[in-house]
Structure 1
Amino acid sequence: MTTAVAAAMVVAAAFSAHAQTGANAGAGVYAANCAACHQAGGTGLAGAFPPLAGHVADILKPADGRIYIGKVLLFGLEGAITVNGGNYDGAMPSWQALSDNDIAAVLNYVSNAWDNGKSLPPSFKPFTADEIKALRTPELTSAAVYALRAATAGGGGSPATATAATSPVSFTADQVTHGSDIYVDRCVQCHGDTLDNGEFGGAPLNGSYFSKHWGGGSVAALVAFMKAKMPPDRPGSLTDQSYAALAAFLLDANGYPKGDKELPPDTPAQQAMSLKRGP
Structure 2
Amino acid sequence: MSQEIITLAERVLQVPPSPTLAINAKAKALKAAGEDILNFSVGEPDFDTPKHVCEAGKKAIDDGHTRYTAVPGIPELREAICMRFKEDHDWEYTPDEIQVCCGGKHGLYNIFQAMLNPGDEVLIPAPYWVSYPPMVQLAGGVPVIVPLDESMDFDLNPETLAAKATDKTRAIFLNSPSNPTGSIFSTTALKAVAKMALERGWLIVTDDIYETVTYMDGKLPHILDVEPALKAQTIVLNGVSKSFAMTGWRIGYSAGPLHLIKAMNKVQSQSKTNQ
Task: Give the TM-score, by structure 2 length.
Answer: 0.29
| Structure that is richer in helix per residue | 1
Task: Give the TM-score, by structure 1 length.
Answer: 0.28
Q: If you compute each CA radius of gyration, which structure gives the higher value, 1 or 2?
A: 1
| Structure that is richer in strand per residue | 2
Instruction: Tell me: higher relative CO, structure 1 or 2? Use CA pairs within 8 A at least 6 residues apart.
Output: 2
